[in-house]
């Protein structure tokens, strides 16, 4: 694959690539992709892996946004959100997702809380999918003391969000235990109790989506992580486990997926450590491959393409 990345002093950067030219972002390390289909574009939101080559843990201070209208040409927009935009947060721009409701865009993020020990979920709001985003709530939506099923401090991570056909919004999240709760129409407050979903070998990275009247809950399975999924006819379950969707992401011990339909095709967006020579678990890269459904609604296993 060739690196067609170019930058201009005044405008956004352009990365020319295709779904067979993975990874799609080559000038930065990117992880934890989330994608939003809005009007005739796909917006890709990712964490920025900034760990130096000799540093073996996450160093993540900001999230990045890219857009495309053809899944081939990706445009980077100026950095729209940083950990420091959440006054109550201390560090760790971990996994996130953006959703649109009534012309407003809600960016749910994972961060380390500044005063409540552990990870927390916050939400920033914008009038545009590319920002600027503002923490209008001014505090965390989910904190570590609200869920007590595990003793770890990083169980409240990886938000994924969906608005069902009846207008009810739901937030799913979690490491080790998958949680979910309803959101109020304002999208910044929970609306009811936090519930848990039993899923085999659940690690983290839930992604909720709907396709042809089926609900899909995909997630990172075991560690190192594969992606597995369950299906249901209702967003409240019961969820039926359907198996592995994607393999361990090469030399990255995490995998993290977004699944979308765009212009009549389905896509599986994920990360691996494929930029040589220093790519790996803490220097990841977002990739895109096609996803195909079977007639019964199950999803075919996605084969990673890394050129």
Binding site for ligand FUB (CB under 6 A): 31-32, 47, 58, 94-95, 110, 157-158, 204-205, 254, 256
Chain center to CA of 205: 7
**Which C-beta is closer to ligand FUB: that of 75 or that of 99?**
99
Phi, psi for 293 (deg, rounded to 5): -100, 145
Q: Provide, rounded to whole angstroms, the least separation between the CB of residue 285 and ligand FUB.
A: 13
CA proximity to 37, closest of 215, 249, 210, 187? 210
CB 256 within 8 A of CB 205: yes
Cα–Cα distance measured from residue 179 to residue 206, given in angstroms and rounded to the nearest whole number: 9
**Which C-beta is closer to ligand FUB: that of 21 or that of 203?**
203
**Which C-beta is closer to ligand FUB: that of 75 or that of 283?**
283
Cα–Cα distance measured from residue 192 to residue 101, given in angstroms and rounded to the nearest whole number: 20
Q: Provide, rounded to whole angstroms, the least separation between the CB of residue 56 and ligand FUB.
A: 13
**Which C-beta is closer to ligand FUB: that of 50 or that of 191?**
50
Q: Provide, rounded to whole angstroms, the least separation between the CB of residue 94 and ligand FUB.
A: 4
**Which C-beta is closer to ligand FUB: that of 135 or that of 204?**
204
User: How many CA atoms lie less than 13 Å away from 252 in the CB half-sphere?
Assistant: 32
Name the token pair of 11. 């405008």
- DSSP structure string for 76-116: EEEEEEEGGGSTTEEEEEEEEEEEEETTEEEEEEEEEESSS
Strand partners, 98: 107
**Which C-beta is closer to ligand FUB: that of 223 or that of 292?**
223
**Which C-beta is closer to ligand FUB: that of 33 or that of 75?**
33
Cα–Cα distance measured from residue 260 to residue 247, given in angstroms and rounded to the nearest whole number: 19
Name the token pair of 131. 């920002």
Q: Provide, rounded to whole angstroms, the least separation between the CB of residue 264 and ligand FUB.
A: 29
Q: Provide, rounded to whole angstroms, the least separation between the CB of residue 107 and ligand FUB.
A: 14
């Amino acid at each position: 694959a060739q690196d067609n990345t170019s930058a201009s002093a005044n405008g956004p950067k352009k990365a020319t690539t295709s779904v067979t030219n993975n990874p799609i972002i080559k000038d930065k390390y990117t992880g934890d992709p989330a994608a939003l289909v809005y009007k005739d574009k796909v917006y890709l939101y990712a964490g920025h892996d900034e760990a130096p080559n000799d540093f073996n843990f996450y160093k993540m201070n900001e999230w990045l946004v890219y857009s495309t209208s053809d899944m081939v040409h990706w445009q980077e927009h100026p950095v729209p959100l940083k950990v420091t935009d959440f006054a109550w947060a201390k560090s760790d721009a971990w996994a996130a997702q953006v959703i649109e409701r009534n012309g407003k865009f809600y960016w749910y993020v994972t961060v380390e809380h500044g005063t409540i020990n552990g990870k927390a979920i916050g939400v920033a709001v914008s009038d545009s999918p590319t920002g600027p985003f503002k923490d209008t709530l001014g505090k965390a939506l989910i904190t570590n003391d609200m869920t007590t099923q595990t003793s770890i401090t990083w169980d409240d991570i990886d938000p994924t969000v969906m608005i069902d056909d009846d207008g009810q919004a739901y937030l799913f999240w979690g490491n080790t235990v998958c949680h979910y709760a309803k959101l109020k129409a304002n999208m910044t407050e929970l609306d009811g109790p936090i519930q848990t979903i039993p899923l085999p070998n659940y690690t983290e990275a839930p992604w909720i989506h709907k396709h042809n009247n089926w609900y899909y809950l995909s997630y990172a399975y075991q560690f190192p992580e594969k992606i597995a999924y369950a299906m249901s006819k209702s967003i409240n379950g019961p969820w039926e486990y359907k198996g592995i969707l994607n393999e361990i992401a090469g030399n990255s011990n995490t995998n993290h997926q977004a699944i979308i339909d765009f212009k009549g095709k389905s896509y599986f967006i994920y990360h691996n450590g494929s930029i040589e020579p220093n790519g790996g678990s803490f220097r990841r890269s977002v990739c895109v491959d096609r996803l195909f459904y079977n007639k019964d609604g199950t999803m075919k296993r996605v084969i990673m393409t890394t050129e």
